[in-house]
Amino acid sequence: MYKRVLIKLSGEVMCGEGERGFDRKNVEFLVRQLAQVVEYGVNVGIVIGAGNIFRGEELIDLPHSLADQIGMLGTVINALYLKGILQRVGMKCVVVSQISSLPSIRPIHYDDINLYFDAGYVVIFAGGTSNPFFTTDTAAALRAVEMGAELLIKATKVDGVYDSDPRKNRDAKKFERLSYRDAIKLGLKVMDTEAFSICGRYKLPIVVLNFFEDGALLRAVKGEPVGSYISPE
Ligand SMILES: Nc1ncnc2c1ncn2[C@@H]1O[C@H](COP(=O)(O)OP(=O)(O)OP(=O)(O)O)[C@@H](O)[C@H]1O
Ligand SMILES: O=c1ccn([C@@H]2O[C@H](COP(=O)(O)O)[C@@H](O)[C@H]2O)c(=O)[nH]1
């Protein structure tokens, strides 16, 4: 069992397939998956994307830097929403960010993050890296290293890493295990090269799994085989 993990959630885990916003059933499922992990006393950090609200690249009429700032604000909306629903079911949760000083958001401070974990809080990192021109995959790698996570879990819509996008190529072959070097060399688009590179440099393994598979998240935290494992070697 890992003791400290960073879970990167696609914003789309909050909405229905092909939808936007928040879907009640999906949100309830999300809470159950996170509760299963938190019950074991694991330190859980979360970075959530904003695919259910806006991705910068979708706002083609705006300058890239502006569109990305709107995207980052989307991650703040998701973080606050997630905090609200976790607290509603009695889970302790804090949102930290460098881009917002809203009353329910705390600044990112390394010493405090350890205190939050010691007190049993789930820590949601909102606002990505705080910089345009990045994505929440890179933010997840960065925050995982900052919080001393032993594992980064990318919880997404596909059940692992394939040799090409499985949503576009039915014959795509799944890797049970691969290295960062392979992921970068093969140009696999499941995560940003920047994220692979940060995790590789700091020897942080990644598991890519299908969030919508009940129990998959817990299996990854227990170190059981699930999805694809990207090793630093
Ligand atoms: N080689 C590959 N193996 C697996 N998935 C791939 C691959 N290449 C592309 N993908 C696609 O990458 C997607 C996951 O990344 P994507 O950035 O779209 O979502 P996310 O990061 O989970 O969401 P969000 O943008 O909300 O954070 C999968 O849905 C899959 O279709
Ligand atoms: O560090 C970051 C993180 C994110 N963004 C912008 O936010 C959206 C949403 O994130 P996703 O990872 O795509 O879900 C992203 O498309 C960027 O526009 C950013 O600028 N910097």
What is the DSSP pairing of strand 206-210 with strand 151-156? parallel
10-residue mean pLDDT series, the chain (233 residues): 97 89 95 97 97 94 97 98 97 97 96 97 98 97 98 97 96 96 93 94 97 97 98 86
Atom of ligand 1 nearest to the CA of 52: 26
Q: What is the 3-state secondary structure (H, E, C) of 182-223?
A: HHHHCCCCCCCHHHHHHHHHCCCCEEEEECCCCCHHHHHHCC
Q: What is the pLDDT of residue 78?
A: 98
Q: Is 160 annotated as a binding residue?
A: no
Burial class (CB in 10 A: 0-12, 13-18, 19+), 24: exposed
Residue to mutate, 55, 77, 194, 211, ligand 2, most ligand atoms under 8 Å from C-beta = 55
Q: Which residue bears the tokens 């401070």? A: 109
Q: Is 55 annotated as a binding residue?
A: yes
Q: How far is the CA of 73 from the centre of ligand 2 (A)?
A: 9
The Cα 129–Cα 149 span in angstroms is 17
pTM of the model: 0.97
Q: Is 134 annotated as a binding residue?
A: yes
> 75: which residues sit within 8 A by CB, 6+ positions away?
11, 47, 48, 49, 50, 126, 127, 128, 136, 139
ipTM of the prediction: 0.96
Ligand 2 contact via 132 beta carbon (within 6 Å): yes
Atom of ligand 1 nearest to the CA of 11: 26
Contact 166, 229 (CB under 8 A): no
Q: What is the pLDDT of residue 55?
A: 93
> 165: which residues sit within 8 A by CB, 6+ positions away?
172, 189, 190
* Structure token digits, residue 10: 């696609």
- What are the structural domains, with CATH classification, of the chain? 4-231 (3.40.1160.10)
Q: What is the pLDDT of residue 17?
A: 77
- Measured from the Cβ of residue 189, the count of other Cβ atoms closer than 10 Å reads 13
